[in-house]
Each structure stands twice: as structure tokens, then as C-alpha cells.
Amino acid sequence: MNHRKSTIALIVISIVLVSASTGIGQTQPAIPEPETFIKATTNSVETLNPQFMLSSATTELSFNVYDSLLDHPQGDLATIIPGIATEVPTQENGLIQIANDGTTTIAFPIREGITFHNGAQLTPEDVAYTFKRGLLAGAQAASYNMLCQNLLEAASFQELVDEIGYDAAYARLDQRIRVEGNTVVFELPQPFVPFLGIMADGGTAMGIMNKAWCIEQGAWPGTKETGQEHMNLTAENDPLFDTMMGTGPFQFVSWERSERVVLERFDDYWQGPAKLQRVIRKIIADLPAGILLLKQGDVDFVSVSVDELPQVEGAPGVRVIKNLPSLWLMKINFVFHIAENSSYIGDGQLGEGGIPPDFFSDINVRKAFQYCFDWETFIEDVFLGAALKPYGPVLIGFPTANPDNPQYSLDLEQAEAYFKEAWDGQLWDKGFSLTAVYSSGSTHRQRALEILKYNIEALNPKFTIELASLPWAAYVGAIKEIQLPLTLFGMLPEVVDPYLPLFEHMHSAGGYAEWGGYMEMAREKYDPLINELGSNYDPEKRQELSYELQRLAYEDCHSIFHFQAVEHVAMRDWVQGYYTGPFPFNLDFYPLYKAYE
């Protein structure tokens, strides 16, 4: 009996020892649903029609469901490769032709054998229809605005109709996007270099749709006679608002508003099927809930802010990737001519009770403010050191971004000198008072203004900056109505070309010049240079123009470029194949899979 007990005890001890030595007790947890990838996000989906997506976060869906004419290699936005088109048009291969009057034709030979998710074959007619419909319907995605401006020479198709009448507008649309054999030809009135970049936005806004399917859904039938009924669509009356069908690696299954979107692998994808069978984009109310789900293994991926990093770093089974560069540059814009009825400029006179509406039209004031901003403290405080100080308006990572461009840095002596010069020397003696506003809940906006306030008020007791916050909606409204002396707004160019940020920041039609009140300066000094940058294919000339514009941005000092953001993501350690794009929180599901390495 005793012998038997001893034998059992020996077996038990042996099992325990062997288990411990081989790590049986420490095996990695089983991967739940290895073919289903679940991403948690706080960004709900605004629409499923890629042509109307305004938020960068939503474009993740169109990117995975649609394909565009051109593409980028994974993670390399500076290089353009063929997509649905078989070749990248260049002047050398004859697909880009520039006539003497500047008329530029860009031809895209269309790949054969691409299948839509409903089994239909993609044709050049589908490609032409996609763009014509987008323009006619008044697509709101930023890339479409640029396309409309440079293809139809109007801010929108409606504007063109108002200008020249529907018949002529439609004739222009029909002429400028046409099918020639197996090729789709775009005819631009002037060369426009970023055009190829727009076509390579990875299927976000420029995803190619199936004409017959669109018509089945109730979209424009593709005829001139019916065009007017399908102009100026809103989400409410857009037949493609809640459905998708493209040629991408994943097909749309369902969208439960504010809850989740489900995609499934498309097995006939022309580049081969994806590894994942199913993708669920789960919408969560706030990040803490998403982090709990990630830690439990109920979701595979979340994007986290710097504040949430301590909650995920070191968590078992969670991999965190920090400091991923993104295409998001923030700036504090000086408004040169504030609305006279603004409630943020005190009594509207130079002195301790307020500022005149044209306070920032004096370059000395702008420069003094620049020298009062402390980038180091800001980036350390808000991003724990993980953000970039921009070189200027061209984002770091873009071609021609100039690291040697002169930059401002914290220098209170210089600031004092400029303040003493400002307003013919009156500012220093009279003082000033203004209210700087940030959008409620935006920590980075609030902190940036606090730093500015602290340093400026320390220079002279007669200088006062009050801080106030407005809800986001009201903030946008106040910016648009030129009520705020300082506006904190970002640039998110989706196409990696210096033309885009320079156009947005400095061109008279770019938006900021109008809001900032430097239209005259823009028309005289910047527009000719920017227009040339947009139309010149010579890389050296483009660099020269871009450098000059960056220098002018420094010299004329319209804004404090205070940071270029970095992002952080957290995922389960079984997630493989992740690579970062322009927005690290937007995933390309195609290369992803779940397995332990």
C-alpha cells in the first residue's frame, strides 16, 4: 500500500517538475477566433460612400473594400505604383501629354480580369462613371475637391453649373473624363503634378465602383438627362450611404450604426485572398472600455493616446508600438483681421482692455509670439517627448521638407525686442489683452495656449491673455466667422506632395489665407510660386519652389507650427503583419493575420 502511495506521489511530483521545466504552465493563451480580427475604435462611421468621407478614421473601410487606379507600396507613401491601372502615367511612357497651351491629358490603361465583389468584371466604363458620379454628386472628400478644382476649374460641379449652365457643365465633365478603348483619359486644363498622388490615395476617396451596381442601388444612371436629379447629395439621400461594393480584398457584410462594421474576405481578390477571414470594426464609447477589451483578448487592436499608454504598456499579451509618425501637423494661426464684432478682442483698442482687430497684421507681434512659444516644454508635457517639431508647413517625411529651413525657438529676449518694436513702439507701453480659445477637451490646444500665455504675460504685466474654451462645434463656427484672434487647426494632407500643405497654408484658395486674413499677401507672393509647384514636373525646380515657399512661411510668420503628431497603437501579441500608414490607427487588413511568431 505504502509502495503504491509512494509511486503515485512520485508520478505527481514528476509531472509537476516536467511541466515546470518545459513551461507547460506558461503556454501562451489560445488565440480566440484566429481568422477574425477585431479592432476597437472610438471613431464611428460617417458614411460608407468613400466619396463623401471627411474623417481620416472612416477611410479605413473604403481602403480595404475598394481599389484605386494607382497605389503605394506598403508604408511608402512617396512611391506610386500601379493599382487598377496597369502603368503609372509619366511623360516618358507617353501616358502624360502636355500640349502647348498647357492642356494635359493623363491616360490610365485599365487592368483586365479584376472582379467586383458581386462577380462583375471591372471595365474602363466603371472607372469613368465613378469619377463622373463623384463630381456630379458633389463628393465632399478633400481629394474630390482638389480633383474638381483642377479638372473642371470650379470648386464644385454646382458652382460650374451656376457659372456656365448645366449643359455646358455636363459637356465639360464628359469631355474631361472619357473612355478611349481600354484606357480612361483625364484632360486637365493645366498640368497638375499631385494628380497622380490623388489617384493613389489607396482606394479611400478614389475607390472604383461598379456602374451597374451603383445604378441598381438608385445612384445616377449615367446619362446627361438624369444628372441634375443626382447633384448635391447629402447623406440622407445618397443611395451609397450605407452600402459598399468594390474590388478590394474585403467585402462589406454589415454596418450596425454606432456599433460595428463587419467585412469578410473576398476570395477572388485580384492580388490573392487575404489571410484573415473576417474583420470587425467595433465602435466603443470611450478608450478605457477598449483597453479593457484588449487586455481580456476580446479585441485585437486599439489606438491609444499618450495618456492611456501606462494602461497598456507591460500588460500581459499586449504589444504597444509608440511614436509612429502621422500626417497631422498642428499650428497656431495668427488672424490678421479679426471680425470687428468679435467678443475675444476686448474693447477693440490697443491697450490693457483689448486689441485692435488688425493686431496681428504687424509682423513684430507675430514674431514676438513665435519667440514666446516653448516647443520643448509643450512636446514633453503633452506628448511625453513623442512628437516632432515641424520644419515649416511641409510635413516631415514629405519630399522637399527642408530640415535647414530657419525655425523659431523660445527666446524671450528676442520676443521682448519685437514687442517693443510692435505698433510703432506703442504696444510695450500700452499693453494688450485678448482671449485665446481652444476647443473643449482638446488637451494639446489648451496646453499650447497656456504656454504662450505664461511666457507672454511674464514679459510685461500689461500683457494679458485670457483662456476660454468652446465646444468643438462652436469652435469651428467661431473660426469660420473670424471671431478668434488665434486659431489652432491642423493640416492632414492625404497625398504626399509638398503642393498640398503649401496650397492649404499659403494659397489664396487654400482656406487658411482667407481665415487668417492674408489674402493679398497670398495672391501677390505665394500663388504664382504654388501654381508653378503644382504644374511643374521637374523635381529640382519643385524643390527650389518648395524651399522658397517654406522660407517665406518662416519670414512672413503666419502661424506657429507647434507639432507634428505621432500616434501610438496597442495590439495583442498574436497580431502579425501590421505596418503603419499615413494614419497609424487606420489599418490595412490585407496583410494582417493572427499567430504567435
The label of the residue with cell 481599389 reads 67
Question: Which three cell numbers mark 405?
Answer: 529651413
Instruction: State which amino acid sits at residue 70.
Output: L
Min dist. Cβ of residue 552 to another protein (A): 19
Contact 77/581 with Cβ under 8 angstroms?
yes
Using a 10 angstrom Cβ sphere, with 0-12 exposed, 13-18 middle and 19 or more buried, the burial of residue 245 is buried
Nearest to another protein of 320, 339 (CB atom) = 339
Kindly report the length of the chain.
597
Helices 124-137 and 142-151: crossing angle in degrees, nearest 10, is 100
Closest CA to 283 of 249, 257, 251: 257
Element of type H or E holding 435: strand 432-439
Interacting span for another protein (CB under 8 A) from 90-98, 193-201, 428-436, 504-512 = 504-512
* Pairing relationship of beta strands 36-41 and 278-283 according to DSSP bridges: parallel
Contact 303/281 with Cβ under 8 angstroms?
no
Min dist. Cβ of residue 190 to another protein (A): 19
Question: Which three cell numbers mark 285?
Answer: 464609447
Question: Which three cell numbers mark 491?
Answer: 493640416
Kindly state whether residue 58 participates in binding another protein, applying the rule CB under 8 A: yes
What is the distance between the alpha carbons of residues 125 and 153, in angstroms, rounded to a whole number?
Answer: 23
Question: Is the alpha carbon torsion for 184, 189, 190, 192 positive or negative?
Answer: negative
Nearest to another protein of 92, 236 (CB atom) = 236
**Within 10 Å of residue 365's Cβ, how many Cβ atoms?**
23
Min dist. Cβ of residue 420 to another protein (A): 34
Kindly state whether residue 572 participates in binding another protein, applying the rule CB under 8 A: no
Min dist. Cβ of residue 201 to another protein (A): 13
Contact 164/150 with Cβ under 8 angstroms?
no
Closest CA to 573 of 303, 278, 297: 297
Tally helices (H) and strands (E) across the chain. Answer: 21, 20
Closest CA to 297 of 12, 29, 6: 29
Taking CA atoms, 98 is separated from 92, 189, 192, 338, in Å, by 12, 10, 10, 43
Nearest to another protein of 418, 518 (CB atom) = 518
Kindly state whether residue 246 participates in binding another protein, applying the rule CB under 8 A: no
Choice from 212, 289, 396, 417 touching another protein (CB under 8 A)? 289
Min dist. Cβ of residue 333 to another protein (A): 10
Nearest to another protein of 236, 540 (CB atom) = 236
Q: Which residues of 19-57 are buried (b: 16+ CB within 10 A; e: fewer)?
A: eeeeeeeeeeeebeeeebbbbbbebebebbbbbbbeebb
Site string for another protein, 306-345 (x = CB under 8 A): ----------------------x-x---------------
Min dist. Cβ of residue 309 to another protein (A): 18
Kindly state whether residue 295 participates in binding another protein, applying the rule CB under 8 A: yes
Interacting span for another protein (CB under 8 A) from 53-61, 126-134, 175-183, 346-354 = 53-61
What is the distance between the alpha carbons of residues 457 and 459, in angstroms, rounded to a whole number?
Answer: 5
Site string for another protein, 430-469 (x = CB under 8 A): ---------x--x---------------------------
Choice from 37, 41, 47, 373 touching another protein (CB under 8 A)? 47
Nearest to another protein of 463, 561 (CB atom) = 561
Kindly state whether residue 564 participates in binding another protein, applying the rule CB under 8 A: no
Nearest to another protein of 83, 582 (CB atom) = 582
- Using CB under 8 A as the binding rule, the residues of this chain from 206 to 235 that contact another protein are 232, 234-235
Site string for another protein, 99-118 (x = CB under 8 A): --------------------
- Using CB under 8 A as the binding rule, the residues of this chain from 476 to 495 that contact another protein are 476-478, 480-481, 489-492
3-state secondary structure at position 275: coil
Kindly state whether residue 504 participates in binding another protein, applying the rule CB under 8 A: yes
Contact 382/444 with Cβ under 8 angstroms?
yes
- Using CB under 8 A as the binding rule, the residues of this chain from 522 to 551 that contact another protein are none
Interacting span for another protein (CB under 8 A) from 20-28, 110-118, 150-158, 338-346 = 150-158
Taking CA atoms, 225 is separated from 166, 233, 387, 468, in Å, by 10, 17, 53, 52
Site string for another protein, 124-143 (x = CB under 8 A): --------------x-x-x-
Nearest to another protein of 66, 489 (CB atom) = 489
Nearest to another protein of 85, 549 (CB atom) = 549
Contact 543/578 with Cβ under 8 angstroms?
no
Bridge-partner residues for 105, per DSSP? 97, 187
What is the distance between the alpha carbons of residues 499 and 505, in angstroms, rounded to a whole number?
Answer: 10
Interacting span for another protein (CB under 8 A) from 80-88, 156-164, 354-362, 547-555 = 156-164
Kindly state whether residue 471 participates in binding another protein, applying the rule CB under 8 A: yes
Kindly state whether residue 510 participates in binding another protein, applying the rule CB under 8 A: yes
Question: Which three cell numbers mark 437?
Answer: 480659445
Min dist. Cβ of residue 311 to another protein (A): 11
Site string for another protein, 249-288 (x = CB under 8 A): ----xx-xxxxx-x-----------------x---xxx-x
Choice from 31, 164, 212, 293 touching another protein (CB under 8 A)? 293
Contact 209/129 with Cβ under 8 angstroms?
yes
Following DSSP, what letter does each residue of 68-126 receive, concatenated? Answer: -SEE--TT-TT--EESSBSS---TTTTSEEE-TTS-EEEEEEBPSS-B-TTSPBP-HHH
Number of residues that bind another protein (CB under 8 A): 70
Kindly state whether residue 155 participates in binding another protein, applying the rule CB under 8 A: yes
Kindly state whether residue 474 participates in binding another protein, applying the rule CB under 8 A: yes
Which residues contribute to the site for another protein (CB under 8 A)? Answer: 33, 36, 38, 43-47, 54-58, 138, 140, 142, 145-146, 155-156, 158-159, 232, 234-236, 241-242, 253-254, 256-260, 262, 280, 284-286, 288-289, 292-293, 295-296, 298, 328, 330, 439, 442, 471-478, 480-481, 489-492, 504, 510-512, 515
